[in-house]
Chains A and B, each alone.
Chain A
Amino acid sequence: MSISYGAYAGKVLKIDLTSQTVSDYPVGDEDLKLFLGGKILAARILNDFIKGPLDPLGEENVMVVSSGPLNATGCPSSSRFNVSAVSPLTGLLTSSNCGGSFGCTLKRAGIDALVITGKSPYWVYIDIDADGVKFKDAESLRGKGTSETQEAIGGKGSKLVIGPAGEHLVRYACAVSDERAAGRGGIGAVMGSKNLKAVVVTGRKNPAVYDAEKLRKIKAKWTKRLKSHPLTGEQLPRLGTAALIASMQQKRLLATKNFTDGRFSGYASISGEELAEKFLVRNKGCISCPIRCARVVEVDGKPVKGPEVEIMGLMGANILNDDLGQIIKWNYEMDELGMDTISASGTIAFAMELNEKGMWDSGLEFGKTDNISDVLKEIAFRSSERGDKLAQGSRKLSEEFGGEDFCIQVKGMELSAYEPRGAVGQGLGYSVANRGGCHLNAGYEVVVEGLGLTINPYTVHGKAEIAVMFQNLMEAVSAGGNCLFTTYAFFPFFLFKRPNSMLSKTVNKALPYLGGPLHVINKYPHLAHIHLTSMLPHTKALSAATGMKITMGDLMRIGARGFNLERTINARLGISAKDDKLPKRLTDCEQVPGDPRTKVPQAKLKKNFYFARGWDSDGMVKPKTAKYYSIDALDDIGARPVSGAEHVVVK
Chain B
Amino acid sequence: MVTVEFFGLYRLNYHMKSIEVEASTVKELFQKIYEVNPFYTVKELKHSIVIVNDVNFNDLKKYRTPLKDGDRVLIMSPASGG
On A, residues with C-beta under 8 Å from B are 230-231, 234-236, 238-239, 243-244, 246-247, 250, 268, 271, 273, 276-277, 447, 450-454, 488, 496-500, 505
Contacts and interface: CB of A to CB of B under 8 A. Distances in A.
Contacts of B82: 231, 235-236, 243-244, 447, 451-452, 488, 496
B33 interface: no
Interface string B47-70: 101110010111000100000000
Given A239-B9, A268-B5, A246 B80 contact: yes
A310 B47 CA distance: 28
Nearest to B76: A246
Contacts of B54: 250
Contacts of A276: 12
Interface in B5-28: 5, 7-9, 11-12, 17
A451 B8 CA distance: 13
Nearest to B74: A250
B7 A235 contact: no
Contacts of B56: 454
A323 to B, nearest CB: 18
Nearest to B63: A500
B81 A498 contact: no
Interface of A is mostly: helix
A452 B76 CA distance: 12
Contact of B76 (A238, A247, A454): A247
Contacts of B8: 235, 239, 243, 246, 273
A271 B80 contact: no
A246 B74 contact: yes
A497 B78 contact: yes
B46 interface: yes
A289 B20 CA distance: 40
Name the 5 nearest CB pairs between A and B, nearest first. A230-B79, A451-B81, A496-B79, A452-B81, A246-B7
A235 B80 contact: yes
Contacts of A450: 81
Contacts of A250: 51, 54, 74, 76
Q: Which of B7, B47, B56, B76 has the most CB of A within 10 A?
A: B7
A414 B43 CA distance: 43
29 contacts: A230-B79, A235-B8, A235-B9, A235-B79, A235-B80, A243-B81, A243-B82, A244-B81, A246-B8, A247-B49, A247-B76, A247-B81, A250-B54, A250-B74, A271-B7, A273-B8, A273-B11, A277-B12, A277-B17, A447-B81, A454-B56, A488-B82, A496-B81, A497-B78, A498-B78, A499-B47, A499-B78, A500-B49, A500-B58
A248 B65 CA distance: 23
Contacts of B79: 230-231, 234-235, 496-497
A453 to B, nearest CB: 8
B58 A247 contact: no
A273 B77 CA distance: 12
A234 B9 CA distance: 8
Contacts of B7: 246, 271, 273
Contacts of B12: 238-239, 273, 276-277
B78 A230 contact: yes
Contacts of A273: 7-8, 11-12, 17
A450 B49 CA distance: 12
A352 to B, nearest CB: 27
A110 B62 CA distance: 59
A250 B50 CA distance: 11
Contacts of B51: 250
